[in-house]
Chains A and B, each alone.
Chain A
Amino acid sequence: AQKITQTQPGMFVQEKEAVTLDCTYDTSDPSYGLFWYKQPSSGEMIFLIYQGSYDQQNATEGRYSLNFQKARKSANLVISASQLGDSAMYFCAMREGDFGNEKLTFGTGTRLTIIP
């Protein structure tokens, strides 16, 4: 079974609208963390936001927030007031286990295109 599933290969969104990028995960480890990375056309991977499995509140970083629903094993990324510069590939990723086991498992990504 896929550990990280991103069901939206591509999305088109009007500028200034909010965007939700879906991510579901599968793990039996009680300690894990979820990441979102942005990959613009230039190729670099940019860290956006992190949610630990024991965090009580949803993570927020500026216009980014992570809608963490533990029981449903989902960690959707919400981008408020989208901008043209948000057009990029977005990857959801997970680490499992405690400190020392830090490899990331990635989803296949969602290509987001913001329309002016």
Chain B
Amino acid sequence: EAGVTQFPSHSVIEKGQTVTLRCDPISGHDNLYWYRRVMGKEIKFLLHFVKESKQDESGMPNNRFLAERTGGTYSTLKVQPAELEDSGVYFCASSRRGGREPKRYEQFFGPGTRLTVL
């Protein structure tokens, strides 16, 4: 099966501009997660979709970040306006719902989008 894909792989923008990141989860995975890693720090959770609904958005840093998941398929993460501190690698992951441990908790990660805000 195809893995999680993310687009673009790299994005360089100027402060104040808008950027939209896209994630296509593994087909059939209802759970979709966004994480980000700021340089040198740990990977941090941003939010969790179950199908098209936001299950947990406790990690979203502020209202400049907007995540959507159209029809429970792909997801977009928009940053508007971008700030310098938004630079980092944004990971998307997906997982099935249900099943037995450990499979039901296994999250499959995409390759990430490296965002640089100048």
Interface residues of A (CB under 8 A from B): 4, 33, 35, 37, 42-47, 50, 52, 59, 91, 93, 95, 99-109
Contact = CB atoms under 8 A, between A and B. Distances in A.
Contacts of A43: 89, 111-112
B108 interface: yes
Given A50-B102, A104-B35, A45 B109 contact: yes
Interface of B: 3, 31, 33, 35, 40-45, 48, 55-56, 58-59, 89, 91, 93, 95, 101-102, 104-112
A108 B89 CA distance: 14
A50 B106 contact: yes
A107 B111 contact: no
Contact of A52 (B59, B91, B102, B110): B102
A37 B44 contact: no
A103 B45 contact: yes
B45 to A, nearest CB: 4
B118 to A, nearest CB: 21
B95 A42 contact: no
B97 to A, nearest CB: 9
Contacts of B108: 47
Identify which of A42, A59, A99 gathers the most chain B CB atoms within 10 Å of its CB: A99
Given A37-B109, A45-B109, A50 B101 contact: yes
17 contacts: A33-B102, A33-B105, A43-B89, A43-B111, A44-B109, A44-B111, A45-B91, A46-B109, A47-B106, A52-B101, A95-B105, A102-B105, A104-B45, A104-B107, A106-B42, A106-B44, A109-B42
